[in-house]
Amino acid sequence: MNIFPALIKREFLDGQNGYLRVPVILAALSIFLVIVSTIGFGATIEFDGVFDDHEIQNLGQALDEAAASRRGETELPAAVTLSYWVMGGISWVALPFVVFFTLLSALYEERRDRSILFWKSMPVDDWQEVLVKFATPVFLAPVIFLAIAIASQLIVALFLSIVVLFQGGPVLELWPLASMIGTWFYFATLYLTMTLWVLPVLAWVLFVSAYASRLPIMWALMPPAIIAAVEGILFETTTFLRWIGIQLGGWQVYAYDSIHADIDGPADFLALIFGGLQGVALSYSLGSIQFWVGLVIAAAFLYGSIELRKRAS
Amino acid sequence: MTETVIEARGLSKSYGDFHALRPSTFSVPLGRILGVIGANGAGKTTMLNAVLGLSSFEGELSVMGCDPSTERGKLMQDVCFIADVATLPKWMKVGEVLDYVEGVHPRFDRAKAMEFLNRTNVPLDRKVRALSKGMTVQLHLAVVMSIDAKLLVLDEPTLGLDIIFRKQFYAALLEEYFDENRTVIVTTHQVEEIEHILSDVMFIKDGEIVLEAEMDALTQQFIEVMVTPGMEEEAQKLGPISKGVTFGKTTCIYKNIDREKLAELGETRRLGLADIFVATMTGEG
């Protein structure tokens, strides 16, 4: 019997405010803002430097001009794709908070409200519970957020298409599908790499939720703060904080060291963010000792969480 | 040969110097309804938690052939329990609870659970949080009674429920759930309500099993005598385990004394389980 679908469904139901309501509300808000600003500001979006000085009445004309311009063929799809990310990607702001607080309560709330005794009366092993409680926010939540981001990008594109259709502009220019789909995949892989780096920190948060008898947020934040303070006072160094900083995203500074960015327009920018970076990021990570050490630490915290849950009742 | 459900040898649990359960050896066969009776803090829940794989223990313990401390997940395919507090997740809807159990438990019969629930007023689309205490228990009981388990452990299952529901529940447990292929372990304070369904009892006092017996044999062992005035001295000679005064007459409780002999002293009657429990705990029995 495969019990994982039922476990994941339960996690999703438990956390559906964070997994679904928050990103949908944020996406709806950003779509609403796009619609209001498009209608409110006379449907004009400016593409700096893409086209020469002309009097542009509306979005349709702007698109026409851009498409006909010297670099329009390469720059316009990239510009459109990027602007969709800006217009339909605001939900991502909430993701780190959703992941953090979901993990922090994952193994804490069930002990607080005693429902752990019900979960433990079911034929589900503690390792299965802990794994699902870790993987759902860390790996499933981003997939849901990405799906919502994609949906909102498509809604924005649809809305702008209708506007441009009425203005008599080139509607097809608003659908650079190859470039859009490409960014979705690139984003997913880059995000996965970043998640793997953050894994030890996330596993620590889950471990705290399995350990803390109260105030898990204090337990999550205080020990790292104390370690950093003690290190600072005794050795006058910041190795520990630097390590955390690198895991949380600082690694990218080193990973992209070799890239000499020469950004000239949206196409270069897009190619760099979604095309070049993720490959570099992945190969840098696989070759980094700190990356692998981080994964081992994450595994140790997960093991600790499982052992703590076995003893909890 | 009767299959054994629980086999414990020297089972114990200590927290530092405090012995929650002193080394105990016992076995529970299949097809029994065992009442575990003891005061609060006597060690009932400690013992049951060890059996259910909810806490660590010292000594040897085998439940359905599994070691509960390492094989809880597997064990729970054959074992079901309701702990002594409301444990259903409050954020879930009733229907979602059923979905979940159906998704993880291979021996759960949803149709059966619905049959039980249809007899109650529990609404399927309501969250557990919004159910009354009685409804929450009814839901939990409907879930466990629809699981085809070999061992069902109920720790104060009807706490906080009204008398009508308690009666109905024990009747359903006996008629619709229990059979020779299952064992049920019940702890409760309302001893009178369960004594007619029990086949075995176990008394626990201060972390120690002080009595383990079959109900039939037990109720024959204990006899109360309302001593005829003038016979007090003879009554005392037979060594009562406890003495009291009712309506101005001396009453004595005896253990393992021939009933005919006792009848000479005065009016005899069998003791209820609650009285036996009190006599055992307070007397020398």
pLDDT band, residue A104 (cuts 50/70/90): very high
* Nearest alpha carbon to residue A306 among A139, A135, A131: A131
Protein fold of B218-282: Alpha-Beta Plaits (3.30.70)
* Nearest alpha carbon to residue B155 among B165, B163, B144: B144
d(Cα A259, Cα A253) in Å, to the nearest integer? 10
The number of angstroms, rounded, from the C-alpha of A198 to the middle of its chain's C-alpha atoms is 12
**Residue B12 tokens, joined:** 């114990």
Does the pTM exceed 0.80? yes
pLDDT band, residue A275 (cuts 50/70/90): low
B22 shares contact with chain A (CB less than 8 Å): no
Report domain extents, chain A: 4-311
pLDDT band, residue B151 (cuts 50/70/90): very high
Average pLDDT, chain B: 87
pLDDT band, residue B62 (cuts 50/70/90): very high
With contact defined as beta carbons under 8 Å apart, do B227 and B251 qualify? Answer: yes
A149-174 average pLDDT score: 84
Give the mutation candidate from A102, A122, A131, A311 for the B interface (greatest B CB count, under 10 A).
Answer: A122
What's the CATH number of domain B4-206, 3.90.1150.10, 3.40.1710.10, 3.50.50.60, 3.40.50.300?
A: 3.40.50.300
With contact defined as beta carbons under 8 Å apart, do B104 and B112 qualify? Answer: no
CB contact under 8 A, B72 and A125: yes
Please name the residue that has the structure tokens 């880059």. A190
pLDDT at B284: 53
B85 shares contact with chain A (CB less than 8 Å): yes
Q: In A136-176, where does DSSP find H-type helix?
A: 141-167
Report domain extents, chain B: 4-206, 218-282
Torsion region of A268: left, alpha or beta (phi above 0 gives left; psi -120 to 50 gives alpha): alpha
CB contact under 8 A, A116 and B100: no
Distance from CA of A136 to the nearest CA of B (A): 16
B58-73 average pLDDT score: 91
Lowest mean pLDDT among A38-42, A146-150, B5-9, B219-223: A38-42
Give the end-to-end CA distance of chain A in Å, rounded to a whole number: 25
pLDDT band, residue A46 (cuts 50/70/90): very low
pLDDT over 60 at A45, yes or no: no
Highest mean pLDDT among A38-42, B47-51, B155-159: B47-51
**Residue A122 tokens, joined:** 């079911």
* Nearest alpha carbon to residue A65 among A53, A79, A78: A53
pLDDT (tens digit, 9 = 90+) per residue, B180-198?
A: 889 999 988 778 888 888 9
pLDDT at A190: 82
pLDDT at A14: 94
Distance (Å) of CA B97 to CA B39, B100, B132, B134: 33, 5, 16, 17
Q: Could you tell me which residues come within 8 angstroms of residue A64 by beta carbon, excluding any fewer than 6 positions away? A: A169, A170
DSSP A140: I
B82-98 average pLDDT score: 89
Listing DSSP states for B39-107 in one string gives -TTSSHHHHHHHHTTSS--EEEEEETTB-TTT-HHHHTTTEEEE-SS--S-TTSBHHHHHHHHHHH-TT
pLDDT band, residue B278 (cuts 50/70/90): confident
pLDDT over 50 at B81, yes or no: yes
- Coil vs helix vs strand at B6: strand
